[in-house]
């Protein structure tokens, strides 16, 4: 009988498998294994993986580290009256980026081909770090210092867009990131 009736065969679990179904199950299962193993494979051979390095910390501590970096490595200010510092941290070193309602602080200037440990954290609500047009998107939480080791490949001016809804000013939360040669 049909799917809205009780099965005709009382022992339906002994009914032989149809060939079309069996073939498809095997093919689909093989594909599912490929889907699964691509993830560990990319950890071994791919270059884009999150290290999942993160520390619990508080806003005071994180601001302190950020301010230290800003005072040491500030190269100029931008944004008119806002005077947002542009910071050129040493290649291979740590760089801090604060997300807060509704701005990013400071502006980082990185060198192409060098790697950096970028620390991302929010001071208040949840935010989203979206680097455009690279299209790297990372969740930014309050209380978690998320360390991302990144190597910019091409020089240029990139945009940072907040892509986690964070209240009425959400779409005003944009910034820049410079990559120089």
Partner 1 sequence: MAVNRMFRTCPTTGLVFHQPAERLIIVNAVTAVVFLLIGGLLALGVVLTRWPAVHWLAADRFYQVLTAHGINMLIFWIIFFEIAGLYFCSAVLLKSRLATPRMAWAGYGLMLIGALVNNYAVLRGDSSVMMTSYVPMSAHWSFYLGLILFAVGALVACFVFFGTLVVAKSERTYVGSVPLVTFGAITAAIIAVFTIASGAIILIPTFLWSLGLISHIDPLMYRTIWWAFGHSSQQINVAAHISVWYAIAAIVFGAKPLSERVSRMAFLLYIFFLQLASAHHLLVDPGLSSNWKIFNTSYAMYLAVLASMVHGLTVPGAIEVAQREKGYNHGLFQWLRKAPWGNPVFSGMFISLIGFGFLGGISGVMMGTEQLNLIIHNTLYVPGHFHATVVIGTTLAFMALTYFLIPVLFRREVMFPGMAKWQPYVFGFGMYGVALFLMAAGTLGVPRRDWDITFAGNTFPYEFPGAAFLMLGLAGISGLIAIVGGGMYLLNTVGSVFLGKRVVTPGFAYVRAADGVAPAPKPVSAAITGHGSAVGAWGLVAPGTFSFAMVFLASFVLYYFINWKYLATVWPLK
Identify which of residues 40 and 181 has a Cβ nearer to partner 1 in the complex: 40
Nearer to partner 1, 66 or 175 (CB): 175
In whole angstroms, how close is the CB of 69 to partner 1 at the nearest point?
19
| Interface with Cu ion: number of residues (CB under 5 A) | 5
Identity of the residue, 148 or 166, whose beta carbon is nearer to Cu ion in the bound complex: 166
**Order of strands, edge to edge, in the sheet holding 136-140?**
74-78, 84-87, 107-111, 174-180, 156-162, 127-132, 136-140
Cis ω on the peptide bond leading into residue 106 (within 30° of 0)?
A: yes
Is 166 a binding residue for Cu ion by CB under 5 A? The answer is yes
Nearer Cβ to Cu ion, position 88 or 127? Answer: 127
Alpha-carbon distance values, 25 to 12, 101, 103 (Å): 18, 50, 50
- Please tell me the distance from the alpha carbon of residue 160 to that of residue 87, in angstroms, as a whole number: 15
Residue 62, burial from CB neighbour count under 10 angstroms (0-12, 13-18, 19+)? buried
Q: How far apart are CB 53 and partner 1 at their closest, in Å? A: 8
- How much is the CA Rg of the chain, to the nearest whole Å? 24
Q: Which does 10 bind (CB under 5 to 8 A by kind): Cu ion, partner 1, none?
A: partner 1
Determine if 177 is a binding residue for Cu ion (CB under 5 A): no
127 contacts: CB under 8 Å, gap ≥ 6: 99, 100, 140, 162, 164, 166, 173
Residue 176 lies near Cu ion (rule: CB under 5 A): no
Measured from the CB of residue 26, what is the shortest distance to partner 1 in angstroms? Answer: 10
When the beta carbons of 84 and 98 are compared against partner 1, the nearer one is: 84
Alpha-carbon gap, residue 134 to 148, rounded angstroms: 15
Q: How far apart are CA 118 and CA 93, in angstroms?
A: 9
Answer with the entry of partner 1, Cu ion, none that 61 interacts with (C-beta below 5 to 8 A by kind). Answer: none
Residues 98-127 that bind Cu ion (CB under 5 A): 127
43 binds, among partner 1, Cu ion, none (CB under 5 to 8 A by kind): partner 1
Contacts with Cu ion by CB under 5 A lie at 127, 162, 166, 170, 173
């Amino acid at each position: 009988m049909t799917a809205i009736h009780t099965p005709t065969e009382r022992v339906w679990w002994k009914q032989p498998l149809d060939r079309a179904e069996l073939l498809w199950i095997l093919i689909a299962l093989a594909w599912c294994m490929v889907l699964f193993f691509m993830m560990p494979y990319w950890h071994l051979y791919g270059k884009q993986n999150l290290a999942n390095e993160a520390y619990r910390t508080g806003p005071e501590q994180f601001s302190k580290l950020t301010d230290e970096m800003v005072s040491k490595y500030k190269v100029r200010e931008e944004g008119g009256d806002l005077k947002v510092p542009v910071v050129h941290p040493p290649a291979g070193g740590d760089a801090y980026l604060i997300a807060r309602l509704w701005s990013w602080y400071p502006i980082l200037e990185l060198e192409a081909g060098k790697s950096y440990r970028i620390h991302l954290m929010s001071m208040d609500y949840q935010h989203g770090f979206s680097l455009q047009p690279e299209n790297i998107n990372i969740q930014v939480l309050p209380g978690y210092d998320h360390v991302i080791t990144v190597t910019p490949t091409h020089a240029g001016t990139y945009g940072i867009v907040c892509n986690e809804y964070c209240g009425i000013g959400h779409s005003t939360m944009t910034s820049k990131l410079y990559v120089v040669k």
